[in-house]
Homo-oligomer: A and B are copies of this chain.
Amino acid sequence: MAQQYFAQIYVTLRPSVLDPQGTAVQSGLQHLGYNNVEQVRIGKYIEVTLTAESLETAQQQLDHMCDQLLANPVIENYRFELQALSTPMNMSS
């Protein structure tokens, strides 16, 4: 039975990789007077809605999507949270 899932994916630069965008934002914050900001790092937050037969299938597909397209494994890490949406697909028909 196909079920709808909602995934929240967080893609972040690996700690060893420089983050010029984060440095620029930190500098911007300091210009606004926030001198107590010590570090800023910027990543991506991706929400994906998908249908799958099971939670495990959805997890495996999301892993592949992240490796293939959503993240660059050479310089980025990713993690995701996955939850089933309340209504199974065949109950809406």
Contacts and interface: CB of A to CB of B under 8 A. Distances in A.
B52 A10 contact: no
B43 A48 contact: no
A41 B46 contact: yes
Nearest to A37: B50
A25 to B, nearest CB: 7
The number of times this chain is found in the oligomer is 2
A82 to B, nearest CB: 13
A48 B41 CA distance: 7
Contacts of A47: 12, 39-43
Interface of A: 4, 10-12, 22, 25, 28-29, 32, 34, 36-52, 61, 65, 68-70
